[in-house]
Chains A and B, each alone.
Chain A
Amino acid sequence: MSASTNGNGKTNGDGNAASANAGVLAGFRVLDFGWVLAGALPGMVLADLGAEVIKVETRQRLDYMRMGRPIVGDQPDPEQNPMFHNVNRGKLSVTLNIGEPDAVELAKRLAARCDVVIENYSPGVMARLGLGYDTLRGVKPDIIMASISSTGQEGPLRDLRAYAPSIGALSGLDSAMGYEGGGPLGLKHAFGDICGALHAVFAIVAALYHRKRTGQGQYIDVSMLRATVVTQGVGLMEHALTERSLPPRGNYDPTMAPYGNYPCAGADQWVSIAVASESEWQNLAAAMGNPAWAKDDRFRSQYRRQRHRRELDALLAQWTAQHDADTLTDLLQRHGVAAAPVLSAAERLFHPHFMERGLYSDIDHPSLGAEPIFNLMWGLSKTPSAVRRHAPLLGEHNRPVLCGTLGLSEDELAELEQRRVVY
């Protein structure tokens, strides 16, 4: 097992950082029914900050994130999904087949020893299983339970089958994203999952803060849709105040020009450049060696640059195309102009800035060996986030959790395993 704090120049150099930094949430225990992405992330974040997070899963219905094509060998293997290894690191795994009443009882007994319960089953499933908030509050009156869903626990869209791209569509996010005059393309990322998970984390820790002062528990309903809608500030306010709905406008910002990704030397290499002020424009011109076109009347003020941004983009692209993206980034930044390369996944992994800050750690996993796992990078100076442990093997912690925390005997555990209650 390896451990690593994030960079911030403050990593504990003795190779034993995790024990030196137990994490600011050490002492809190979380029962984590979350799965796939939106449900798995909040527990991951809390674990990175030091909470003990017990992931409840079952062979009866594997977390989808455990599935996928094998990397070693040719047989399906629930221990080989790199995405799972990323978003479940730091957790303990207990296998409870919660279709079985005895497994539900065990889950309740675990909940009674936890501060927080997280779940993202379809709305209503936890209650149907006998693990709804009212039940759990019965066994632990100050429990904080967070339910994460696509579109909320109530309302007409509650039962809509919705995935990350559905949320991009329903929230307005997709409607303004695309080439000018073209249709929406959709993001390939799970914006809604991540946004929902992050807001769930905030609500959970705020509820813990409230509980500390009042002793009061909480039920938290977070939807990916609502969490994404509130990030659409400009688009929503545009409609609220002008009754216009923003269409796709390519790379566009109303206050900046140039503002875009410009081609660089090499195959499919790009640099992003954004200029907001007259001084930044003068600096950009200086970085380019003050070419004659930069003094053209069409580009003589921020207003005119906006009006003629297509011509401006074309001329700027002729210059950028002669240089590589890293050279341009350093040159422009030295001149006080905001610039950064369009980085691919592999480029981010080996980027000098991110490497120095420790964006990735090599974490040993029993099935695949050392793997780059991203760090959360929440740099609390005394207790930074850290990847504390590799993602758990399925049921890896049945014994320490069920015998240790719950106090079952070895015989009882063996019997529960044999009856596929613990499964």
Chain B
Amino acid sequence: MTYSLLSGLRVLEIGSMLSAPYCGKLLADAGARVVKLEPPELGEAARRYGPWPGDIPHPERSGLFLYLNANKQGITANLETPTGRSILRRLAVASDVVVHNAPPADMERLGLDYDILAGDNPNLVMASISPWGLSGPWRDYKAYDINLAAAGGICEGLGEADREPLTFGTPEVGYFAGVAAASSIVMALLGRERYGGQHIDIAEAETMAGLYNGPEALMAVYEWRVTRRTGHHALDFPYPNCILRCKDGHIFVGSPEGRQWGRLLQVMGNPEWSQEPRLRNRTVMNNRYADEVDGYVEAWLADYTKAELLEIALEHRIPLAPVRTYDEVRADPALADLFVVIERDDTGPVAYPGVPYRLSEVDLSEVDVAHHSPAPTLGQHNRDVLCDELGYTGEELVKLYQTGII
């Protein structure tokens, strides 16, 4: 399901990979009309990222692109040409919102920065998502996901003490920047009557170093928590607070409350080791004897599958949680309505993650349930947008294509 919260809103996205495309997706799924502008010929980078159906690479079938760009319209324009830039500027005049994650220096070089676009449209809300922000000594530094995770505080604590720090298994930082940008955009729109248009600066690294990991600095000042790498155990928590092996995989075992630990011990049959005086204080147990106790607990877990342990968790109100692989996540009936099936001729039906929040009061007559459209093929909506809205003739459209502008 998509919602109609933002219906009537017009958004122009110049996005690649995660951050600006995810921002555009949040706005599109909430009812905005999002036009995505890509460079002609190659399109944006997510088209070359994959994965692909049947491992047959094709720019129109990259899974990451198809996921993040559903429900958008797609056009092409070569921004290195004056005509391409003029197309963007004319679209920005007709839009409420522009969101991009092109490098700030590129937008300035092309004459497509906020000051220029706001000169044409003072009510424009423009969000610039960049790795490090629009100011500061690192403004023009590059970054991919691992660099943002490294500076943002993800890597310092992830991994074994004697091995290299790790990052996320797949790119993640852009999602945080995307939702920060989407929220900021709607806030700016709420205040548009009072303040007019605004330029929004979202730094991907700061979504990690700020909201995500910001309080850690104060914890470090007070030496409240150790954030360095300590394998699958985190120091200074009461044991257990870790992922352990069970019969068919891994399970998170936690018990922050004493009574939860009491119930877990009871389910385990109140084992003898748990009576030892040195294992009475659970924080001491975690910091000093965790490996030993892992062995005891894993001996018990070895008899149970993840599914059985989830049943135990629900029945005894113990915080156990299976470490689910992606096939298990996609097969969870409780999440079935999170996924939306979108069909395209060249992919067949594919289930994509949908809107992660649920609303109760949207007038169902306003919800266009047929609104779900697959991600656009490259330049799919050139005619709709350039001819029907900007007024180019069919002949001009052909000429724009033949000269490599769209």
User: A256 contacts which chain B residues (CB < 8 A)?
Assistant: 144
Q: Which of B49, B158, B251 contacts A187 (CB 8 A)?
A: B158
Residue of A nearest to B144 (CB): A274
| Chain A 3-54 residues near chain B, CB threshold 8 A | 7-9, 24-25, 41, 45, 49
B6 touches A206 (CB 8 A): yes
A346 touches B217 (CB 8 A): yes
A185 touches B351 (CB 8 A): no
Number of chain B residues whose Cβ lies closer than 8 Å to a Cβ of chain A: 148
User: B155 contacts which chain A residues (CB < 8 A)?
Assistant: 261, 270, 272, 342
User: A157 contacts which chain B residues (CB < 8 A)?
Assistant: 314, 334
Give the complex CA separation of A152 and B358 in angstroms: 9
Q: What string of 1s and 0s marks CB contacts (under 8 Å) between B315-335 and chain A?
A: 001110111111111100111
User: A69 contacts which chain B residues (CB < 8 A)?
Assistant: 224
User: B156 contacts which chain A residues (CB < 8 A)?
Assistant: 342-345
| B238 in contact (CB, < 8 A) | no
User: B224 contacts which chain A residues (CB < 8 A)?
Assistant: 68-69, 82
User: A174 contacts which chain B residues (CB < 8 A)?
Assistant: 243, 250, 252, 323
A372 touches B356 (CB 8 A): no
Give the complex CA separation of A357 and B214 in angstroms: 14
User: A359 contacts which chain B residues (CB < 8 A)?
Assistant: 206, 209-210, 214
User: B134 contacts which chain A residues (CB < 8 A)?
Assistant: 8, 379
Give the complex CA separation of A7 and B265 in angstroms: 51
| Chain B 217-250 residues near chain A, CB threshold 8 A | 217-222, 224, 227-228, 231-232, 234, 241-243, 245, 250
User: B334 contacts which chain A residues (CB < 8 A)?
Assistant: 151-152, 155-157
Give the complex CA separation of A229 and B155 in angstroms: 21
Q: Which of A198, A273, A376 contacts B179 (CB 8 A)?
A: A198
Give the complex CA separation of A10 and B76 in angstroms: 35
Q: Which of A216, A237, A271 contacts B66 (CB 8 A)?
A: A237
Q: Given A177-B168, A272-B150, A380-B198, is A353 in contact with B353 using a C-beta cutoff of 8 Å?
A: no
Q: Which of A90-98, A158-166, A411-419 contacts B (4 or more CB under 8 A)?
A: A158-166
| Chain A 50-107 residues near chain B, CB threshold 8 A | 68-69, 71, 82-83, 85-87
A184 touches B323 (CB 8 A): yes
Q: Which of A8, A198, A219 contacts B180 (CB 8 A)?
A: A198
Q: Which of B285-293, B359-367, B395-403 contacts A (4 or more CB under 8 A)?
A: B359-367
Give the complex CA separation of A36 and B167 in angstroms: 26
Give the complex CA separation of A279 and B252 in angstroms: 43
Most central of A160, A219, A254 by chain B CB within 10 Å: A160
B357 touches A209 (CB 8 A): no
B186 touches A202 (CB 8 A): yes
A356 touches B136 (CB 8 A): yes
| A360 in contact (CB, < 8 A) | yes
Q: Which of A229, A241, A273 contacts B353 (CB 8 A)?
A: A229
| A210 in contact (CB, < 8 A) | yes
Most central of B190, B217, B325 by chain A CB within 10 Å: B217
| Chain A 121-164 residues near chain B, CB threshold 8 A | 133, 151-152, 155-157, 159-163
Q: Which of B165, B205, B360 contacts A261 (CB 8 A)?
A: B165
CB distance from B157 to the nearest CB of A (A): 5
| Chain A 198-226 residues near chain B, CB threshold 8 A | 198-203, 205-210, 212-214, 216-223, 225-226
| B188 in contact (CB, < 8 A) | yes
Q: Which of B132, B171, B211 contacts A253 (CB 8 A)?
A: B171
B254 touches A234 (CB 8 A): no
| A375 in contact (CB, < 8 A) | yes
| A408 in contact (CB, < 8 A) | no
B359 touches A170 (CB 8 A): no
B133 touches A379 (CB 8 A): yes
| B146 in contact (CB, < 8 A) | yes
Give the complex CA separation of A268 and B171 in angstroms: 24
CB distance from B120 to the nearest CB of A (A): 17
Q: Given A41-B211, A198-B180, is A338 in contact with B144 using a C-beta cutoff of 8 Å?
A: yes
Q: Given A82-B222, A238-B326, is A340 in contact with B357 using a C-beta cutoff of 8 Å?
A: no
User: A248 contacts which chain B residues (CB < 8 A)?
Assistant: 169
| Chain B 170-187 residues near chain A, CB threshold 8 A | 170-172, 175-176, 179-180, 182-184, 186-187
Q: Which of B50-58, B274-282, B385-393 contacts A (4 or more CB under 8 A)?
A: B50-58
Q: What string of 1s and 0s marks CB contacts (under 8 Å) between A280-295 and chain B?
A: 0000000000000000
User: B167 contacts which chain A residues (CB < 8 A)?
Assistant: 251, 261, 272
User: B326 contacts which chain A residues (CB < 8 A)?
Assistant: 172, 175-176, 232, 235-236, 238-239, 245-246
Give the complex CA separation of A166 and B317 in angstroms: 13
CB distance from A251 to the nearest CB of B (A): 6
3 A-B pairs closest in CB distance: A374-B214, A176-B169, A237-B63
**Other than the known A229-B335, A342-B151, what 16 A-B pairs have Cβ atoms closer than 8 Å?**
A85-B218, A133-B360, A161-B317, A165-B321, A166-B321, A179-B159, A206-B3, A218-B362, A226-B338, A234-B49, A342-B165, A345-B156, A345-B216, A359-B214, A379-B203, A381-B198
18 sample A-B contacts, Cβ–Cβ < 8 Å, listed by A number: A8-B133, A87-B215, A162-B321, A186-B242, A200-B357, A209-B6, A210-B362, A230-B354, A236-B67, A236-B329, A253-B146, A276-B144, A340-B147, A341-B150, A343-B150, A344-B228, A377-B203, A381-B201
